[in-house]
Amino acid sequence: MKQFKQSLLAAALVLAASGAQAQSYPTKPIVLVNPYAAGGPADLVARSLAKELGTELGQQVVVENKAGGGATIGAAYVARAEADGYTLLFGTAAAHIVTPLIQPTPYDGIKDFTFIALAANQPNLLVVNPSVKANTAKELIELARSNPGKLNYGSSGTGTSPHLGGELIKQQAKIDMAHIPYGGAAPAITDLVAGRLQVGVMNLSGELPFVKAGKLRALAYASKTRSPLLPDVPTFAEAGLGGAESASWYTVAAPKGTPAAVVNKLNAALNAVARKAEYRKLMEAQGTELATLSPEETTRFVVDDAQRTKDLIKSANLKLE
């Protein structure tokens, strides 16, 4: 009985300490690690989110770019960080799911993290350099079939949404294109605009300015509905690529073991940001969809996507490039 009372007392002390930590948290700046290069679509969302999150929490949130390794460099850094809520990961499917499945990583993409919230979802856009003689997705498919392996498409890295999006198109259309991985979306888009790449299946937000300027040609939007930003561009289903839809999602995650009270406080702040009218307007203008999920719902979202992704990785025989 005495031992039972001591256990209850110990548990009560832990809860009290956790509650006190949540009330005082944060007492110093928070680092949000972006595992991609500066200037890309992920960076644009991360920096906008960090600014608003800092306002909600009353502390500065600083974005640090730790690109490379298919998003594993930044993810590994956060997985090893102290679980106190001051080092967070702007997580993606590549960091948490894809890369750990196709190459050895120093962390488990799901078990070594505590998922806090779903920050954004960005459908991809199929584009080509204007030099490519294809004005529609159908014409691109015909061009690729008559030139197997000669067209190349770029991505922000092996295992990223643009990479998987390209593989889905290859499977759906039964074509062969070469994959060229980069250390982020920004350098891939730079080469796409310069003509060193022919095809891109990257986030609408990164490609949109170049489509508007006539430096890239949009062929199809990888979502179930057309984008209000490009109402004349057909969806994948309308373009004959139904089933190849893809998108990049972004979560905010912390190292495993971060106190629940801190996680809940961060979740409340992140969802408050997502509900802000001006922030929503800013994100929607970049082709970004927002959601307000609980930590449990966010974890379930990631786990479910991991299961779907495993099948694609197996069928496409994806390996480290």
Query: Quick one: how far is CA 196 from the chain centroid?
Result: 25
At 128, is the pLDDT very low, low, confident or very high (cuts 50, 70, 90)? very high
Eight-class DSSP state of 237: T
| Identity of residue 74 | G
Collapsing DSSP states into helix, strand and coil, what is residue 315?
helix
pLDDT score at 9 = 53
**Contact assessment for residue 267 and residue 110, using Cβ atoms and an 8 Å cutoff:** no
pLDDT score at 286 = 83
| Identity of residue 53 | L
Rounded Cα–Cα distance for residues 156 and 187 (Å): 8
Burial of 11 by CB count in 10 Å (0-12 exposed, 13-18 middle, 19+ buried)? exposed
pLDDT score at 160 = 80
Q: Is 114 left (phi over 0), alpha (psi -120 to 50) or beta?
A: beta
| 122 or 143, higher pLDDT | 143
pLDDT score at 274 = 97
pLDDT of 28-65, one tens digit each?
A: 999 999 998 898 778 989 999 999 999 999 999 999 99
pLDDT of 206-229, one tens digit each?
A: 899 999 999 999 999 998 889 989
pLDDT score at 4 = 47
pLDDT of 252-298, one tens digit each?
A: 999 999 999 999 999 999 999 999 999 999 998 888 889 999 999 99
pLDDT score at 275 = 97
pLDDT above 90 covers what percent of the chain? 70
pLDDT score at 3 = 56
Longest Cα–Cα distance of the chain, Å, equals: 81
> 3-state secondary structure string, 39-93?
CCHHHHHHHHHHHHHHHHHCCCEEEEECCCCCCHHHHHHHHHCCCCCCEEEEECH
At 8, is the pLDDT very low, low, confident or very high (cuts 50, 70, 90)? low
| Helix (H) or strand (E) run with residue 241 in it | none
Alpha-helical (H) ranges within 92-160 are 93, 99-102, 137-146
Complete DSSP assignment for 8-31: HHHHHHHHHHHHHHHHH--SS-EE
pLDDT above 70 covers what percent of the chain? 92
pLDDT score at 224 = 87
Rounded Cα–Cα distance for residues 52 and 42 (Å): 16
| 7 or 215, higher pLDDT | 215
At 20, is the pLDDT very low, low, confident or very high (cuts 50, 70, 90)? low
pLDDT of 176-211, one tens digit each?
A: 999 999 988 889 999 999 999 999 999 898 899 999
**Contact assessment for residue 91 and residue 252, using Cβ atoms and an 8 Å cutoff:** yes
**Contact assessment for residue 94 and residue 118, using Cβ atoms and an 8 Å cutoff:** no
| Identity of residue 68 | G
pLDDT score at 248 = 87
pLDDT, averaged across the chain:
90
